Amino acid sequence: MRTGSALLPLIRGLALSGLIALPAFAAANDVTVYTTREPKLIQPLIEEFTKDTGVKVNTVFVKDGLIERVRTEGEKSPADILMTVDIGNLLDLVEAGVTQPVESKVLQEAIPKNLRGSDNQWYTLSLRDRVAYVAADLKVDAITYEAFADPRWKGKVCIRSGQHPYNTALIAAMIAHNGAEATEAWLRNLKNNLARKAAGGDRDVARDILGGICDIGLANAYYVGHMKNAEPGTDARKWGDAIKVVRPTFASADGQGTHVNISGAAVARHSPNRDNAVKLLEYLVSDKAQNLYAKANYEYPVKAGVTLDPVVESFGPLKVDSLPLTEIAKHRKQASELVDKVGFNN
């Protein structure tokens, strides 16, 4: 017969798989974060929060089925905070009814209005700007998103799958700015400019620029922070050194801003430790935590005035597209349909 201590690893494994709930292992004062991001990405922030407040944070990685898990657990769910990337995923949580509003002066003063829910159900914690990777020796210092469809770039553009959330969000923003008809034409012309099939990841865009397959591409800026800060001589460093970052704007937009996606969070509807959950969210937008975001993950801070990693700072100031993220999210389904309609990934 197994002893109690011998059973603990098995029980913890079941808890993390969602087959049983976690409360037995969470002290009354703990905060439990369900995250679709690898917990190690936010671990430095979590450790500092615990050090400063004494509140322990349990992180549970939920790769898929976050909504279903929280719904199944219902009122007994140990989840205090639900954390995810991509505005669409965050709004899906709200629409599923698994979050609750949080009135917080700290959050509202730190986070711009277009980067939080008007009903206070969700908050942005960091930004992921969708930028141009440009061959380092190419004389391109400014570009619009629309220009990626220009015949000048025929056979010279690399990009990951059009159905990836990073790209469907960008396409949705293009629809919001220019309309569906113009966006369809843009997608068709962009497809004609591809140097290879739309596939792989954002780092692969830099790899293929180094390999001479393409001259430019669309990808997230924070990957460049990882690549250019990698050890000299590694593949990642070589890819990073082969490119420079140019922040595109929308040609038709009044504010001439760059498209961003986000990492963000919401307080779970049945949070058993709501006060500490709010305390953690407020901590994550503090100067200290935002500095850690900027230096650990190379994501752009949501709070103004935070010191950036030197590589990220070298990209120049980020002026965020003023279009509300909720407006972009409205067009996600239409964006996905356009990708299939033009056979973008074929």
- Whether the pLDDT of residue 311 is over 70: the answer is yes
Query: 314 lies in a domain?
Result: no
> In terms of residue numbers, what domain contains 74?
4-127+260-307
Confidence of residue 253 (pLDDT cuts 50, 70, 90): low
Q: What one-character DSSP code corresponds to residue 258?
A: B
Confidence of residue 1 (pLDDT cuts 50, 70, 90): very low
Query: 313 lies in a domain?
Result: no
Instruction: Give the total residue count for the chain.
Output: 346
Q: Is the dihedral of CA 192, 203, 263, 24 positive or negative?
A: positive
| Structure tokens that stand for 296 in this block | 């650990």
- The domain that contains 23 carries what CATH number? 3.40.190.10
337, 195: one domain: yes
Query: 56 lies in a domain?
Result: yes
Annotation: binding site for Fe cation: 222-223
| Structure tokens that stand for 69 in this block | 């898990």
Annotation: binding site: 222-223
Residue 41 has a pLDDT of 78
| Structure tokens that stand for 144 in this block | 């619009």
Residue 15 has a pLDDT of 45
Cβ partners under 8 Å of residue 144, min gap 6? 248, 249, 250, 251
Residue 5 has a pLDDT of 39
Strands 99-100 and 260-268: antiparallel
Alpha carbon distance 34, 38 (integer Å):
10
Alpha carbon distance 194, 167 (integer Å):
15
Residue 241 has a pLDDT of 98
84, 168: one domain: no
Helices (H), the chain: 4-17, 43-53, 66-73, 87-95, 105-110, 165-178, 180-192, 202-210, 222-228, 235-241, 274-284, 287-296, 310-313, 325-329, 332-341
Residue 255 has a pLDDT of 58
Residue 227 has a pLDDT of 97
Q: What is the pLDDT of residues 200-250, one digit of tens each?
A: 999 999 999 999 999 999 999 999 999 999 999 999 999 999 999 999 999
162, 175: one domain: yes
Query: 312 lies in a domain?
Result: no
249, 324: one domain: yes
Q: What one-character DSSP code corresponds to residue 306?
A: P
Residue 294 has a pLDDT of 85
110, 23: one domain: yes
- Name the residue among 88, 166, 89, 86 with its Cα closest to residue 126: 86
16, 115: one domain: yes
Q: Averaged over 66-89, what is the pLDDT?
A: 95
Residue 254 has a pLDDT of 64
Q: Averaged over 14-27, what is the pLDDT?
A: 45
Confidence of residue 13 (pLDDT cuts 50, 70, 90): very low
Query: 183 lies in a domain?
Result: yes
- Whether the pLDDT of residue 290 is over 80: the answer is yes
Residue 20 has a pLDDT of 38
Alpha carbon distance 75, 337 (integer Å):
36
- Determine the straight-line distance between the first and last CA of the chain, rounded to whole angstroms: 57
8, 102: one domain: yes
- Whether the pLDDT of residue 4 is over 60: the answer is no
- Whether the pLDDT of residue 66 is over 80: the answer is yes
| Structure tokens that stand for 187 in this block | 């997608």
Q: What is the pLDDT of residues 316-334, one digit of tens each?
A: 999 999 888 889 999 999 9
CA-angle at 129, arms to 203 and 301, nearest 5°: 110
CA-angle at 127, arms to 125 and 133, nearest 5°: 160
Q: Averaged over 90-109, what is the pLDDT?
A: 96
Q: What is the mean pLDDT of the chain?
A: 90
